């Protein structure tokens, strides 16, 4: 146990400060403090020793320099187990500090403001605070460090139960938390300054990522795995990380993955007509665009009603009562509904129907925007892959002839796609980038009628998509996330009734594939863009 006789309190977040300081004072702990913290405690009637009386120097440079002084840092860093450290304190007339309670300038909140200036951001980079925190955490055998107001009550209770002392276990736990706190703080500063000063450097030699735990999850992908969900601070794009859950039990690890897949796909239609996406195991099993949201829901569900049951649904429009009735139609169920908003009259329909309310989750994400550029991270055993986000979009066509060039598309077959075929090709192309490779999507009349996902060879994905579509494959179009390595893919598609194909191109056998399409009367468009999704 280590007795706490002298404490330094200097906090930006003053939540719980006064009760904590009062409890310390009542246990005869001398309190040293700075600036606004000292004023707050003084106004509460708690005796405080101003830091300038300890250092012999007034605060300087608008408060930039106040604790960076041997009288402070020697008092924090002296290892009480070493007689020579204690003698050095006595020789210098410095008293030891046993507890450091510091939280840092509000850098995160400052840079979150849309109107923040660079000067304001720089001014909110704390220097003295992290220095004291790191010093106290390093010297945890002798000093307790507190960075989180949520710890105040437990610290007070332990001290009251142990004649003003804290255990080694507590000091160690607090030290580990303190280093995590300063690392998180520095990671945010690093990210902000890299964006301001080095925007062209996507992949720096050292990359630090600040993440804050949003919730513990019941388990991971399987019950024997542990899991938690972390958020990126100040991330504002509509996403599962920023969504507001307005109904239902907590989302699981798998729910969150599926919800993210559904929302990211429906964002492709953020500015389009009403759209509905249904996801099962991160792959789309139903996608439709229609003139009304209820119609889009019905058409997406009927694309594959067996797979849709128990899936995740995402919508690009607010859910009204009519749409809610369509969602909760007989013989169907969805784990979660994600939408920009939910009308008041839609909520009772979704939350009070038998077998629905207790099991359904509702996530409100606000007005959708198309996918934005940025970085995505993917964990490997022992490392992390980092890449730019696949935010490449093709615009909606107005006519085949006028839009092909501006879209960056190349017709490689003798037959040009019709206007209607081109519209459906672009619709399917938006969807195929969200299907696991090897990915094949068949579309017809603004509905995805067949999906082939995650197969080891592409022709098998074509067969699966055609099998899922059945008779609906006749007159459909096909999107492939990557090139066709052999003409057999085109032959299988043509037998199924596909009339037009969109694919990246780039195979050494492109000409054989094109010749097969010409022979079978298909139109084929190359995008020059691949959309692998592993």
Active site members: 138, 281
- Can you tell me the distance from the alpha carbon of 389 to that of 378, in angstroms, rounded to the nearest whole number? 12
Closest Cα partner for 89 from 38, 54, 123, 65? 54
Q: Which CA distances in Å does 291 have to 63, 299, 303? A: 61, 11, 17
Q: Which residues lie closer than 8 Å to 506 by C-beta, 6 or more apart?
A: 483, 528, 530
Q: List strands edge to edge, sheet with 99-103.
A: 49-50, 30-33, 6-11, 99-103, 144-146
Query: Does residue 462 contact residue 482 with C-beta atoms inside 8 Å?
Result: no
Structure tokens at 178: 């303190």
Query: Does residue 142 contact residue 2 with C-beta atoms inside 8 Å?
Result: yes
Query: Which alpha helices (H) appear in 96-227, and where do they start and end?
Result: 107-112, 118-123, 128-138, 152-161, 168-197
Tell me, what DSSP letter sits at residue 251?
A: P
Q: Which CA distances in Å does 16 have to 99, 128, 159? A: 16, 22, 17
Query: Does residue 65 contact residue 46 with C-beta atoms inside 8 Å?
Result: no
Structure tokens at 526: 């190359």
- Can you tell me the distance from the alpha carbon of 176 to that of 505, in angstroms, rounded to the nearest whole number? 53
Q: What angle do CA 321, 306, 453 make, to 5 degrees?
A: 110
Query: Does residue 152 contact residue 170 with C-beta atoms inside 8 Å?
Result: no
């Amino acid at each position: 146990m280590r007795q706490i006789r002298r404490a330094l309190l200097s906090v930006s977040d003053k939540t719980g400060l006064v009760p904590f300081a009062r409890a310390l004072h009542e246990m005869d702990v001398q309190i040293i403090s700075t600036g606004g913290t000292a004023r707050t405690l003084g106004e509460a009637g708690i005796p405080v020793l101003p830091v300038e009386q300890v250092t012999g120097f007034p605060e300087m440079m608008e408060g930039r320099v106040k604790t960076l002084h041997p009288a402070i840092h020697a008092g924090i860093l002296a290892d009480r187990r070493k007689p020579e450290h204690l003698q050095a304190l006595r020789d210098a007339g410095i008293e030891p500090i046993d507890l450091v309670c510091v939280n840092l300038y509000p850098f995160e909140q400052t840079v979150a403001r849309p109107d923040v200036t660079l000067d304001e951001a720089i001014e909110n980079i704390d220097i003295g605070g992290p220095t004291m925190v790191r010093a106290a955490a390093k010297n945890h055998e002798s000093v307790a460090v507190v960075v989180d107001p949520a710890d105040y009550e437990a610290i007070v209770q332990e001290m009251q139960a142990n004649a003003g002392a804290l255990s080694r276990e507590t000091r160690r736990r607090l030290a580990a938390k303190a280093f995590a706190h300063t690392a998180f703080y520095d990671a945010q500063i690093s990210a902000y300054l890299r964006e301001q000063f080095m925007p062209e450097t996507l992949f720096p030699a050292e990359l630090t990522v600040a993440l804050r735990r949003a919730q513990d999850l019941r388990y991971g992908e399987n019950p024997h795995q542990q899991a938690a969900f972390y958020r990126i601070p100040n991330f504002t794009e509509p996403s599962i990380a920023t969504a507001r859950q307005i109904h239902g039990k907590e989302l699981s690890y798998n729910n969150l993955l599926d919800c993210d897949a559904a929302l990211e796909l429906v964002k492709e239609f953020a500015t389009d007509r009403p759209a509905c996406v249904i996801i099962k195991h991160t792959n789309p099993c139903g996608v439709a665009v229609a003139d009304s949201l209820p119609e889009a829901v019905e058409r997406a569900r009927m694309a594959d009603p067996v797979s849709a049951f128990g899936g995740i649904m995402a919508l690009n429009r607010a859910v009204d009562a009519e749409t809610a009735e369509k969602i909760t139609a007989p013989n169907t169920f969805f784990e979660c509904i994600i939408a920009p908003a939910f009308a008041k009259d839609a909520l009772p329909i979704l939350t009070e129907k038998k077998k629905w309310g207790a099991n359904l989750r509702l996530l409100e994400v606000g007005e959708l925007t198309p996918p934005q550029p940025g970085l995505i991270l993917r964990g490997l055993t022992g490392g992390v892959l980092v890449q730019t986000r696949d935010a490449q979009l093709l615009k909606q066509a107005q006519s085949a002839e006028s839009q092909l060039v501006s879209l960056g598309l190349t017709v490689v077959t003798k037959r040009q796609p019709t206007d209607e075929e081109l519209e459906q090709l672009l619709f399917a192309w938006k969807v195929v980038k969200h299907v696991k490779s090897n990915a094949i999507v068949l579309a017809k009349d603004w509905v995805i009628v067949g999906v082939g996902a995650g197969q080891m060879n592409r022709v098998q994905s074509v067969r699966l998509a055609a099998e899922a579509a059945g008779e609906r494959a006749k007159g459909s179009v096909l999107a492939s996330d990557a090139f066709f390595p052999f003409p057999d893919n085109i032959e299988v598609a043509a037998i199924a009734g596909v009339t037009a194909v969109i694919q990246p191109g780039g195979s050494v056998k492109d000409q054989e594939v094109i010749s097969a399409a010409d022979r079978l009367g298909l139109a084929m468009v190359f995008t020059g863009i691949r959309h692998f999704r592993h």
